[in-house]
Amino acid sequence: MLKQMEGSRAVAEAVALCRPEVICAYPISPQTHIVEALGEMVKDGSLAPCEFINVESEFAAMSVAIGASAAGARSYTATASQGLLYMVEAVYNASGLGLPIVMTIANRAIGAPINIWNDHSDALSQRDSGWIQLFAETNQEALDLHIQAFKLAEELSLPIMVCMDGFILTHAYERVDMPTQAQVDAYLPKYEPRQMLDPNEPVSIGAMVGPEAFMEVRYLAHARQMQALERIPQLAEEFATVFGRDSGGLIHTYRAEDAETMVIAMGSVLGTIKDTVDAMRDAGHKIGVLGITSFRPFPHVAVAAALKHCQRFVVLEKSLAVGGGGIVATDVRMAVTGMGLKGHTVIAGLGGRAITVKSLTALFERACRGDLELMTFLDLDWNAVNKQLEREKAHRRTGPVAEALLRDVGVVASRNY
Amino acid sequence: MDKPFAITLNPGSSLANRTGSWRTFRPEYVDRLPPCNAACPAGENIQGWLFHAESGDYEKAWRALTENNPLPAIMGRVCYHPCEGGCNRQYVDSSVGINSVERFLGDEAIKRGWQFDAPAAASGKRVLVVGSGPAGLSAAYQLTRMGHKAVIYEAGPLAGGMMRFGIPKYRLPRDVLDAEIKRLLDFGVEIHLQTKVSNVLEAMQDGFDAVFLGVGAHIAKRAYIPAGDANKVLDAVAVLRGMEGESAPMLGRKVVVYGGGNTALDVARTAKRLGAEEAIIVYRRTREKMPAHDFEVEEALQEGISIKWLSTIKEAGESDIMVEKMALDDKGFPQPTGEFERIEADSVVLALGQDADLSLLENVPGLVVDKGLIQVDAGMMTGHPGVFAGGDMAGNERTVTVAVGHGKKAARAIDAWLRGETYAPLPKHELATFERMNAWYYSDAPKTVRPVLDIIRRQSTFEEVLGGLDEGNALFEARRCMSCGNCFECDNCYGVCPDNAVIKLGPGKRFKFNFDYCKGCGVCVAECPCGAIRMVPEEN
Amino acid sequence: MSFQPVKFYQTGTFTVGNRLLPPEERSVQASSKRFNSINSGHRACQGCGEALGARYAIDAAMEATDGQLIAANATGCLEVFSTPYPETSWQIPWIHSLFGNTAAVATGIAAALKVKGKAQIRVVAQGGDGGTTDIGFGCLSGMFERNDDVLYICYDNGGYMNTGVQRSSATPAAARTSTTPAVGAEPGNVFDQGKFLPAIALAHDIPYVATATVADLRDLEAKVRRAMEIRGARYIHILVPCPLGWGTASHDTIRMARLAKETGIFPVFEAEHGEIKSVLAIRRPLPVEEYLKPQKRYAHLFGKQPRVDVIAHLQAQADRNIRRYGLQARKESH
């Protein structure tokens, strides 16, 4: 059924259709609307049976989910940014124990400086946590990926983060096609836990494992993510059969035929990129798009295949490995090792910085011309940065960088301080 | 369940890890000798029979008790219970009233008509027992149990020896004495009354393979006291024996008893009951030095007996006596002071001790007598093979309990001797001292006070002074036993082991250690209430 | 009082079992059919109080729930010594997640059981004092205030023993630990720090809060039994001496717990909805020295120049406990 609704609401309704049994909630923008909506559904009885637990922290949220999942309940939570970092220890634990928890990440920057706007720093900080990470481009995809995520997680006994851009998606009102309960029930079987806390068949879960077996445990986790590489496209196909639309999968390409330049990105920015590419195609540029849906497991083979015919690629990512460079770009480069492609990393949109068609057009044109540097910070205020760098050269200590920068860029309020 | 590798494990699988290899010391269950048992002259396994009494199985308790002593109803009245002096419970609150429980069991047995278990198969051996006092009865009982024929020759008209002719009725009612003797007769012990043995070797010719001599000390010691013709000077043995005759001795209105032993008290208290207005004990030393038991002194004082300490009788006149006051010298010995006093007295009873009549032994070769006592070996055998002796004639500690112990020990030795062996008592266990126990586990439970006859009746009748326990308080009292040194299956070791390394074997079977897992921490030893576990170094 | 009154010593409250008691009055630990929830072969130190306390408590909970029990366990000694791959000592469904989240994991389990219609299965969370009073405190408080249907059991040995005896917020004043060494003018742990978590639990007004020690088994079992009769958040704080961390002989584990209670150092009580319902009175009052002296962690108080000032301070703390909880010795009845 087509509906016009906020992204958060759409995700909440989709999660509810998946019949979660335990939901743990802790407020943090921009995911809050999702759990608020779910909380209301549990409270008014429309989502039942389900336990909705207002926990005292994200650490507890993930921990409650761990307990619930281990006891055989389909478990869900959502978080973002600092909240994700606060639960990190439990995040690793959930995957280590192989518990199929589904968690929405309403992607947001992490501080300091504290910043509530969108980028991918939060989710990408957890790229090695052992969780599957799926990135949604649209609210429709976000909704669909949750349904697929429960199925995949429970099949493989692995937890999954469904990542959607904070505010850009979560707070955006868009038209979505909301599936029916019957459709979801037809697609998503009942949760049959691989292992469970059960007095009739007692086991000890979470043993201490020493050097004699730890590497094997880790390898097996890796092997399961490799299995996911096979299952994710299959599940997308099955999804299309039941729901009548393409959603999910490992990657998507857009106008990639005969493209010499490929732009690679994750999440909602793909929409802007596609608009830009459309215009550039009209102007005669051979440029295409590769959207990565599954960041973990990383689809090396699929990415390499998608880039097989291009000459260069530009990875535009909303994350920065400080002191290193791109994060997604590193994985893409790994995937195309030996293919002789020229690769560019573009760091863009950190902390909610707008990514405009204008800037992208200029950027991609430079790339097509072969003028683009290996590493670019899109729309960086070089004036402010350089001033600070000079100051720092002159004085060993200059006070908090953030404040100094704000002063330079002329944020009014900070002038008084 | 599809268990993830290494992270998820099968329940209880740690049994594969034998932590017993960590051990440097190992616990060991032991039986230690409870101090009550150690102190009992009759060798009663007190802790052992209390164990059964605690569960209310009085018959089993009585059977356990009577393995060592056939006279519990008697002993429960007349024993001076050195066991209670040894009892470790005195360090918690007060000693267990062992004597009162023993009496309860003895009375219960009489009331319920319990008989001894059938004796062992007849050996064909016959043993002569001379005297039917506690030593003789005990020996005869034990010999009968072992399958030997025991025949008692008793000089007196009734069985019981000094129990009958020396102990007043108010301490030992005669129906109780008669009942326990009758049970022995029913058991197969044969008694010939008024059969005095004047030559033991001759008597043995009546087809006996051995003899046990249990002749009591019936002959009163005398002291020379100048006395006028009119004065009545009697001896205690005669007075007490006279009480068993048809007419009680005539002692008069004012009676003076001379001596400081239990017999002196018995006579004074008897005189009071016979109607004496005054019964005065004259004793040359102080109360602390008095050989009589303190509780008997106390009871006597309660009954109105007066005692003149540090006094000797110099002469007895027609209606009074002359007493000289004594004073203790530097060494604590009484010395005459030259101060005299006259006390009115219708009679003077001498209670200065007794000797055994050893005339029946005059021509027994090898037999050694020293200071009026027959010398015996560890198995109570005299210097003459096959002739054993016990009780008053073989020791200075002359109590019913000692006599019963002698009788038992002699019987065991006779049994060995009859089989051509030498009696060797089992080695004794290490003593269960209070320090080896963990008294925390015993809750406060003060000793039960036995009912005492009211004072008026104590001064005028021969009713029994001290009452018995009823079932409720006998059970309570039995359960005050701390089972020193002997497992009472409290489950503490089983419970406190952090490694589940104690195996519970079931009721009556106690416990054993599972050395596959015992790490040797010693908690079981420290927490065993009764000290029945010890740690020993691991050898391997 | 939370257990049957004292009768005779053998049927009293102090030994583990007793042949004379009616079967229904016997302790769980006395039964040859007890569950041994934590099995032999675990790798706890000799004389470990925590291994003992855990078996006491979990066996009692198993008995109370007829075997319908799941346990969540914090990281710590108990976890490490019981479940090193490839063997586990636990015979019940058991999960270890993290050091600081056990209460929350248990909440999740309870929620799952409720939603699955299996609320007859009950949930116990357990951890040491570090995992409970320090790193796990946030999750614990959350579990309390939500009144989740979890019994949380803290095995308090007064420090981080597994990592080498460091101070926790449950380490008593003046005690030596690796991070409060017995050096300087004020050796050992600092006075006027730390927290007594049972009192904080009380402040949450949860249905049931109790303290216990491994020296009073029947009391401990009665408290676990009572806790399992109640739905909602429950907390039992069990003092479990640690031979390693306290520097005591392995055989003295129970004795030390007993001394802690008898000196008033550790108050034993139970409370419902924030109100104290009963206390375990002192039986044989003792000065704190009796408790302190056998422990090497207090050895610096008894050197050539004994720290009478510090001992007096500790005595004052014990006296305050005695006053606050009404622990004065009283006559035993039977």
Q: Report ipTM (2 d.p.).
A: 0.95
pLDDT tens string A77-92: 999 999 999 999 999 9
Chain B residues closer than 8 Å to C55 by CB: 498, 500
Task: Name the strand (E) or helix (H) holding B455.
Answer: helix B455-460
| Chains within contact range of chain A (3+ C-beta pairs < 8 Å) | B, C
**Three-state DSSP class for A51?**
strand
> Alpha helix (H) ranges present in A188-258?
214-243
Query: Taking each helix axis from N to C terminus, what angle separates A401-409 and A382-394, rounded to the nearest 10 degrees?
Result: 130
Measure CB to CB from residue A202 to each of B2, B6, B11 and give the nearest one: B11
Let me know: does B368 contact B230? Beta carbons within 8 Å: no
Question: Alpha carbon C314 to chain centroid distance?
Answer: 20
Q: In chain C, whose CA is at the least distance from the CA of B524?
A: C251
Query: At residue B39, what is the residue type?
Result: A
Let me know: does B154 contact B191? Beta carbons within 8 Å: yes
Question: Alpha carbon A179 to chain centroid distance?
Answer: 22
pTM of the model: 0.91
Please name the residue that has the structure tokens 């309860």. B104
Measure CB to CB from residue A65 to each of C106, C108, C141 and give the nearest one: C108
Q: Which residues pair with C125 in a beta bridge?
A: C72, C152
Residue of C58, C237, C71, C79 whose CA lies nearest to C158: C237
Reading the block at residue A165, the tokens are 């851009």
Measure CB to CB from residue C104 to each of A63, A205, A208 and give the nearest one: A63
Q: Do A75 and C68 touch (CB under 8 A)?
A: no
Does A410 contact chain C (CB < 8 Å)?
Answer: no
Does C115 contact chain A (CB < 8 Å)?
Answer: yes
Reading the block at residue C171, the tokens are 């380490």
What are the structural domains, with CATH classification, of chain A? Answer: 2-243 (3.40.50.970), 251-377 (3.40.50.920)
**Three-state DSSP class for C199?**
helix
**Three-state DSSP class for C126?**
strand
pLDDT tens string A267-311: 999 999 999 999 999 999 999 999 999 999 999 999 999 999 999
Q: Do B495 and C252 touch (CB under 8 A)?
A: no
Chain B residues closer than 8 Å to C12 by CB: 441-443
What residues of chain A, 61 to 90, have a C-beta less than 8 Å from chain C? Answer: 62-73, 75, 89-90
pLDDT at A195 over 50: yes
Measure CB to CB from residue C98 to each of A93, A198, A202 and give the nearest one: A93
Reading the block at residue A115, the tokens are 């910043």
Chain C residues closer than 8 Å to A65 by CB: 108
What long-range pairs does A236-241 form, CB within 8 A, spacing at least 24?
A236/A148, A238/A187, A239/A144, A239/A147, A239/A148, A239/A187
Residue of A279, A369, A362, A270 whose CA lies nearest to A315: A270
Going residue by residue through chain B, which has 540 residues, state the pLDDT in tens, using 9 for 90 and above: 788 999 999 999 999 999 999 999 999 999 999 999 999 999 999 999 999 999 899 999 999 999 999 999 999 999 999 999 999 999 988 999 999 999 999 999 999 999 999 999 999 999 999 999 999 999 999 999 999 999 999 999 999 999 999 999 999 999 999 999 999 999 999 999 999 999 999 999 999 999 999 998 888 888 888 876 656 888 999 899 989 888 888 888 999 999 999 999 999 999 999 999 999 999 999 998 889 988 889 999 999 999 999 999 998 888 889 999 999 999 989 999 999 999 999 999 999 988 888 888 888 999 999 988 999 999 999 999 999 999 999 988 889 999 999 999 999 999 999 999 999 888 999 999 999 999 999 887 777 778 888 888 888 888 898 888 888 888 888 988 999 999 999 999 999 999 999 999 999 899 999 999 999 999 999 999 999 999 999 986
Q: Burial level of B396, CB count in 10 A (0-12/13-18/19+)?
A: exposed
- Neighbouring CB atoms inside 10 A of C137's CB total 17
Let me know: does B505 contact B511? Beta carbons within 8 Å: yes
Chain B residues closer than 8 Å to C11 by CB: 479
Question: Alpha carbon B320 to chain centroid distance?
Answer: 39
Residues comprising chain B, all counted: 540
What's B288's DSSP letter?
T
Chain B residues closer than 8 Å to C6 by CB: 443-444
pLDDT tens string C256-313: 999 999 999 999 999 999 999 999 999 999 999 999 999 999 999 998 999 999 999 9
Q: Do B496 and C46 touch (CB under 8 A)?
A: no
Q: Which of C105, C113, C118, C120 to mutate to test the interface with A (most CBs of A within 10 A)?
A: C105
Let me know: does B291 contact B262? Beta carbons within 8 Å: yes
Does B509 contact chain A (CB < 8 Å)?
Answer: no
- Residue C7's pLDDT is 52
| Distance from the C92 Cα atom to the nearest Cα atom in chain B, whole angstroms | 7
Chain C residues closer than 8 Å to B482 by CB: 9
Let me know: does A197 contact C69? Beta carbons within 8 Å: no
Does A45 contact chain B (CB < 8 Å)?
Answer: no
Q: In chain B, whose CA is at the least distance from the CA of A220?
A: B5
Chain A residues closer than 8 Å to B1 by CB: 194-196, 198, 201, 203
What are the structural domains, with CATH classification, of chain B? Answer: 5-31+487-537 (3.30.70.20), 35-114+453-478 (1.10.1060.10), 126-218+356-418 (3.50.50.60), 225-349 (3.50.50.60)
Does C141 contact chain B (CB < 8 Å)?
Answer: no
The answer for residues whose C-beta is within 8 angstroms of residue B330's C-beta and 6 or more apart is none
- Neighbouring CB atoms inside 10 A of A413's CB total 7
Distance CA B520, CA B28 (A): 10
Chain C residues closer than 8 Å to A62 by CB: 101
Let me know: does B412 contact B427? Beta carbons within 8 Å: no
| Distance from the B185 Cα atom to the nearest Cα atom in chain C, whole angstroms | 36
Chain C residues closer than 8 Å to A202 by CB: 90-94
Q: What is the 3-state secondary structure (H, E, C) of C16-72?
A: CCCCCCCHHHCCHHHCCCCCCCECCCCCCCCCCHHHHHHHHHHHHHHHHHCCCEEEE
Distance CA C34, CA C23 (A): 13
CATH topology of domain C34-325: Rossmann fold (3.40.50)
